[in-house]
A and B are shown apart, each in its own frame.
Chain A
Amino acid sequence: MSEEKMNPDAGGHYGIFGGRYVPEVLVPAIDELTRAFDHARTDDAFWQEFRGLLRDYVGRPSPLTFARRLTEYCGGAKIYLKREDCNHSGSHKINNTIGQILLAKRMGKPRVIAETGAGMHGVATATACALFNLKCIVYMGAVDVQRQKANVFRMKLMGAEVRPVESGTRTLKDAMNEALRDWATNVRDTFYCIGTVAGPHPYPVMVRTFQEVIGREARQQVLEATGKLPAAVIACIGGGSNAMGVFHAFVPDKGVQLIGVEAAGCGIETGKHAASLGHGAPGVLHGSKSYVLMDEHGQIQEAHSISAGLDYPGVGPEHSYLKDTGRAQYFSVTDAEAVDAFQLLSRLEGIIPALESSHAVAHTLKVAKNYAKDDVIVLNVSGRGDKDAEQVQDWLNAHADA
């Protein structure tokens, strides 16, 4: 795939996907952001500061760990874990928020808003805002505030204000609606820090750019460790930022399969899932055209996943493009499979993965045996699962008889 096909056109389009579907009041702010990002992108001083912070504050590069016992358990390809769970603040989200908050500083915006699902992006935004002394307001669905209490407290500890969102389905999509409403109201002094590769252009390409470090490191690390490229790279997909981050460096390596894993929730057949790529249709949600879960009349459907970070009825436009071109494949695993994988990786490797990442682990468990023993799989562990311990315990108690 050529370089230009890996980037959107000037309007932010990846094929038929992407674009900029927002109220006019926001367009000038988005133009301003696009100019600031384009400038920063080619500015060595910006990258020096960004890379310095990723090294000294986030703790990059994150390790690539050979999962010996998991590999033996699966009986197929050698499985290497890309350890985004080792990052400061507990997930890959911090790569993006450091980048965006540096931009907010450059643009002179004193007020930062964010939406969050599981709370990891909220925590990462609160972290970067504390570091740079910016006012931080995080919108979070009231349902998610309930199921992720620890993250709510972490955000508050770091000086952020958490605003529970009571409208609609009271989850991530509604938090994003409310953040967009705040932005429309306070557009002149506010920077909207979106947590995933979705939203209006330039967010999908900007967030990916800040997350590309995952794949760049992983590619180099896997070559050093094994002397070859992996047969497959596997990552979970909600909006898709950790997946885009780890995929990007491998897109030109045609022999590397790129595999995204969505949440099948209670099972695709129940209708209670979050598999937008697998079972949605092209539509427009939150500023871009992409695969979306909707009913026959174009009303957005409630997503379902045990993992709040995957509980979203849309997905980034670049994933929609990679799906349609066939460069990446997308699968889904259920809540139950994710919970099993959560426990298994904890027991076999002493690594507690986030419930989000557990979806990628679960799919790897299914497919690793189909590869030769000298094949390599890079599995992206996008975050740590400490935040999910209580929820998994409750889930296991509730399903004890099953």
Chain B
Amino acid sequence: MSRIAETFTKLKEEDSAAFMPYLVAGDPDLATTLELLKGVSAAGADLIELGVPFSDPMADGPTNQLAAERALKSGTTMPKILDLVKEFRKTSQTPIMLMGYYNPFFHYGLDKFCKDAAEAGVDGLIIPDLQPDDAGELKPHAIPNGIDPVYLIAPTSTPERLALVAKESRGFVYAVSLTGVTGARSKLPPELNDFIDTARISIDLPLCVGFGIGDPTMAREVAKFADGVIVGSAVVKRIAQAAEEGKSPVESVSVFVREMADATHNARKG
């Protein structure tokens, strides 16, 4: 069983949703990212989404756009990200998903990438601009190497699209909570619960919700009906804040992740 499947099986036994923070590799630099990975893992993250920075992040709001710019400026590249994961794997078994736009993966060479990623200890891929329709060239390399391609669904997805994602996704499905780009919002979309209930009719895999979730109240709410809570911009914002103040972000991010993970894990209890 893969690390991702094991994680969800264990959480299901505990009747708990997964907490999954997102941060960008190399923001503000790769050495700090390694400390952050260890920090969020110790603070209760069940899985981690590690962002692969790209020059043209078309599904991201300003917070994550700036994080990608900082990461590229610090010299982050795909080989260095794989080295980072390899280093993290020496101390942790927390599943790592690489999340990024398609071109850097495609340009690396999909065959070589999937082999190198598997060797480094990457568990899955989330590529927001790659849908199953055009992923025929990724699948024969990802699946045999044990790399789970995780596909996304959105509130606009039709039943046909949900069925396609159900068939092609591995590990879990990423449910985008709203129509829009990444970035913390002040409240959850009112129709989110219905969207997830509808998706469950077609999808058996765990459903993790991301986009717009920024505080423990929202995380608790989502964790009641979804299998996972994904938080990106609210984490990234704390990294940016610390960098601006010239401090290490590890402590403030770990405190925040602890708070969010507790809210997620305790949502269905009493």
Contact = CB atoms under 8 A, between A and B. Distances in A.
A21 B133 CA distance: 9
Contacts of A298: 78, 103-108
A30 to B, nearest CB: 10
Given A27-B157, A299-B54, A299-B72, A283 B179 contact: no
Interface stretch (B17-25, B57-65, B140-148, B213-221): B57-65
Given A281-B107, A294-B107, A299 B55 contact: yes
A24 B174 CA distance: 11
B161 interface: yes
B161 A21 contact: no
Given A19-B134, A285-B103, A294-B103, A24 B56 contact: no
A229 interface: no
A28 B153 CA distance: 11
B205 interface: no
A185 interface: yes
Interface stretch (B3-11, B91-99, B124-132, B231-239): B124-132
A59 interface: no
Interface string A17-34: 001111111111101000
Nearest to B134: A19
B176 A185 contact: no
A285 B56 CA distance: 8
State the majority secondary structure of interface residues on B.
loop
B107 A188 contact: no
Nearest to A301: B55
Contacts of B54: 299-300
A24 B134 contact: no
Interface residues of A, number: 39
Contacts of B59: 23, 181, 184
A22 B176 contact: no
A297 interface: yes
Contact of B157 (A28, A185, A294): A28
B88 interface: no
A301 B72 CA distance: 12
A284 B157 contact: no
State the majority secondary structure of interface residues on A.
mixed
B77 A297 contact: yes
Nearest to B176: A25
Given A24-B152, A27-B161, A297-B107, A188 B179 contact: yes
Nearest to B79: A297
A25 B155 contact: yes
Contact of B103 (A20, A188, A283): A283
A252 interface: no
Nearest to B106: A284
A11 interface: yes
21 contacts: A20-B133, A21-B134, A23-B58, A23-B152, A24-B152, A25-B180, A28-B158, A168-B56, A181-B58, A181-B181, A184-B59, A185-B179, A284-B103, A284-B106, A286-B56, A286-B58, A298-B108, A299-B54, A299-B104, A300-B55, A300-B103
Interface of B: 54-62, 65, 72, 77-78, 101-108, 128-131, 133-134, 151-158, 161, 165, 176, 179-181
Given A24-B157, A185-B180, A297-B77, 13 more contacts: A21-B134, A22-B131, A24-B131, A24-B151, A27-B156, A27-B157, A29-B156, A167-B65, A283-B106, A286-B58, A294-B107, A298-B105, A299-B72
